[in-house]
Structure 1
Amino acid sequence: MKWYTLLLVFLAFVFLVLFVNACTHYHKGGHAAMLSGQNQEKLVRHLDKRMERMLRMIDASEEQQVAIRAIAHAIIEDGIEVRQQGSADRVMRIFTDSPDQELLHAQLSERSRDLAEFGHRTLDRVLEINALLTSEQRQKVVEHLEKKHARRGV
């Protein structure tokens, strides 16, 4: 490998470390920290606040609120469980003297399946929430999301 290729790889690695560190600093612990032990409650409170605002915005009935909260909390708990499935171990196995490429690819495939299954479970739960809403409430959600994404330029 030429020296400039090694230099580029090294600089890319340094950039990645700095980027992750900056993200962690900006988010006061990072996204991963939000899902770790002590910050799980903080994440749940944050998501609860967002859900409460949405429920008020769509003027959800008491029955709808109870059902939607239960479904949303099931999604959150499922997400926390999926997140905690040994991601640190996988990353550490990459940076060994002789990483097992076959094992790493197998683990990546397994993780991809886990995330796809989580995505399908989450979609099913969101569809349950959708079934609880009236047409007017769905329209309010759509308008809110369109407005929110328009601000971001998405």
Structure 2
Amino acid sequence: MEKKNRFAGLRVLSRRAREHTLNMYPPAQTHSEQSGPDTTAQTVSGTATQTDDSAQTDSQQQTQSSENTDSKTQPKRLHVSNIPFRFRDPDLRQMFGQFGKILDVEIIFNERGSKGFGFVTFENSADADRAREKLHGTVVEGRKIE
């Protein structure tokens, strides 16, 4: 009898343990918006990009990006790791909501439940920076938020 590997088709990205830092990711972009080589995740010191709006034309996007030169007014997505496994989106929203307007919250799950990390998207980067400074290293239910 042949055994089936239940992990067949999954790729291992890295076997090396890495130090977890609080990373910021730009909001999702469509294929047509990914024109430059800088489409990867940004670290805490990076700047955020505009939100995805597929109804805009290229000329409208260029005009809007030139008007939004102040990075403090652009949305910023924080990667939050080591959150308690019982946390759900409203819990994360409540935890980060005290620092400013949140556009989106997402906790990542697999078939067994929470993977212990998620994302919080703030309306502006100043609020996101403040939340990162205040909550980084905070212990919640025995887990150090990073």
Higher strand share: 2
Q: Which of the five TM-score ranges fits, normalised by the shorter chain?
A: under 0.3
Q: Which has the larger radius of gyration?
A: 1
Q: Normalising to structure 2: TM-score of the pair?
A: 0.26
**Structure holding more helix per residue:** 1
